[in-house]
Amino acid sequence: MNILIINGPNLNFLGIREPNIYNSSTYDDLKAYLNQYATKNNINLEIFQSNYEGAIIDELQKAYFEKVGNKKTVLYGPAYKGIPIAVSVAVALAKDGLDVPFFFNRKEEKDHGADKGSFLGSKLKDGDRVVMIEDVTTSGKSMEETVPKVRGAADVTIVGLMVSLNRMEKGLGGEKSALEEIREKYGFETNAIVTMEEVVEHLYNRTCQGRVVIDDTIKAAIDDYYKQYGCN
């Protein structure tokens, strides 16, 4: 994952300007903390600060043209569970004024009619950037079929895979997580909205919709499962 943080005027005065109000930590302290977090979480982080609006705009435009330019970004939702997620994301982006097309695959290729082929939705074109969206990726086996099909449809770049939940289970290799294996094998970023560890931490012995979802018994069963199938 690549993240650019742009800070505006006077952030360089942290720790100098009224430390009794704004804290005594300096801007360098803040950058050090962010860089440490980024390193721990495999994030490529770039931090920029300026007191001039023009310099900030220049940096924003530079990042845009370096990463996006005039290339079209397309959402891909693998059948079947990825389809409603991709549609929901496209609708949400449209509400913010962003027209991002989407497409999805058929389980069986159609060999007749105007919509024949393996895919439905936006037609891929050379130069498109594809963001793949899934609910979960357990072993990564589905990617062995999906990635070659998408790359074979046009000269596209798969820029990343986003899943709703990282189950934190061992991939096909038996050591690393499926998301790590996919990242290394196919060369694109893989990320999740939440991890199973975060879900368990949030729900453990807490009431959700009138009941405790993960009590001591279920927590113990989850721990036993991850001792066998979980990745470090």
Give the pLDDT confidence of 83-134 residue by residue, as tens digits.
999 999 999 888 878 888 999 988 776 666 666 667 888 888 998 999 999 9
Ranges of CATH 3.40.50.2020 domains, the chain:
73-194
* Local structure of 156: helix, strand or coil: coil
- The percentage of the chain sitting over the pLDDT mark of 90, rounded to a whole number, equals 44
Ranges of CATH 3.40.50.9100 domains, the chain:
2-67
Instruction: Report H helices in the chain.
Output: 19-22, 27-40, 53-67, 82-95, 141-153, 178-186, 196-203, 216-229
- At 65, is the pLDDT very low, low, confident or very high (cuts 50, 70, 90)? low
Q: Which value, to the nearest 10 degrees, does the dihedral of the CA atoms of residues 53, 56, 60, 63 take? A: 160
Q: Is the pTM for the entire model greater than 0.85?
A: no
Give the model's pLDDT for residue 95. Answer: 86
Give the model's pLDDT for residue 110. Answer: 67
Give the model's pLDDT for residue 48. Answer: 94
pLDDT at 43 over 70: yes
> What is the dotted CATH code of the domain comprising 73-194?
3.40.50.2020
Report d(CA 4, CA 11) in Å as an integer. Answer: 16
Q: Which CATH superfamily is domain 2-67 in?
A: Dehydroquinase, class II (3.40.50.9100)
- At 200, is the pLDDT very low, low, confident or very high (cuts 50, 70, 90)? very high
* Strands 189-195, 157-166: pairing kind: parallel
Average pLDDT value over all residues in the chain: 87
